[in-house]
């Protein structure tokens, strides 16, 4: 849970704060509204990065899309965490257009020796570059 002390520290200092969210929280409207209200009180919302765990499954991705759109309008950034670890969907990544993509360790662990990892990652990165 977002603690007041973290938000107060962010208000006073020039630092960033990354918050990791499971996709399961997005349907909880009261929590999302709470986040929006707290972000509005911060003078440097561009220092906040909301990391969304890509490994989670969500039936209605539009709530995640709406969150990303709203939180960006408030000045924050979006990151995708654990890309490639579970329910990977390139279309969802392209829709969200995260500023940061954190690739799951299982995809890069043996990138220097694996004949599969390097080409797969290269294709993925080229796809993002073209979009």
Strands 100-103 and 77-83 come out as parallel
The reply to whether 119 falls in a domain is no
The reply to whether 122 falls in a domain is no
| pLDDT reported for residue 114 | 74
The model's confidence at residue 6, banded by pLDDT at 50, 70 and 90, is low
Which tokens sit at 31?
A: 């929590």
Q: What digits encode the pLDDT tens for the residues 45-97?
A: 998 999 887 655 667 778 889 999 999 999 999 998 877 766 556 777 888 88
The reply to whether 68 falls in a domain is yes
- In this structure, the number of other CB atoms found within 10 A of the CB of residue 83 comes to 20
Domain count, the chain: 1
CATH number at residue 95: 3.20.20.450
* Residue-range definition of the domain harbouring residue 91: 4-106
The reply to whether 114 falls in a domain is no
Query: Cβ(50)–Cβ(76) under 8 Å?
Result: yes
The reply to whether 66 falls in a domain is yes
With a pLDDT cut of 70, the percent of the chain lying above it is: 71
Best mean pLDDT range from 78-92, 99-113, 116-130? 99-113
Which tokens sit at 4?
A: 């007041």
């Amino acid at each position: 849970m977002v603690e007041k002390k973290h938000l107060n520290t962010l208000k006073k200092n020039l630092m960033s704060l990354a918050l990791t969210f499971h996709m399961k929280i997005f349907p909880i409207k009261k929590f999302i509204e709470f986040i929006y209200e707290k972000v509005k009180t911060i003078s440097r919302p561009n220092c906040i990065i909301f990391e969304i765990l890509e490994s989670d499954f969500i039936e209605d991705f539009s709530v995640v899309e709406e969150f990303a759109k709203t939180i960006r309008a408030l000045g924050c950034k979006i990151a995708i965490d654990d890309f490639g670890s579970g329910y990977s969907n390139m279309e969802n990544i392209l829709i969200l257009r995260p500023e940061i993509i954190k690739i799951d360790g299982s995809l890069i662990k043996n990138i220097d020796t694996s004949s599969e990892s390097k080409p797969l990652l290269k294709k993925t990165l080229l796809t993002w570059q073209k979009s």
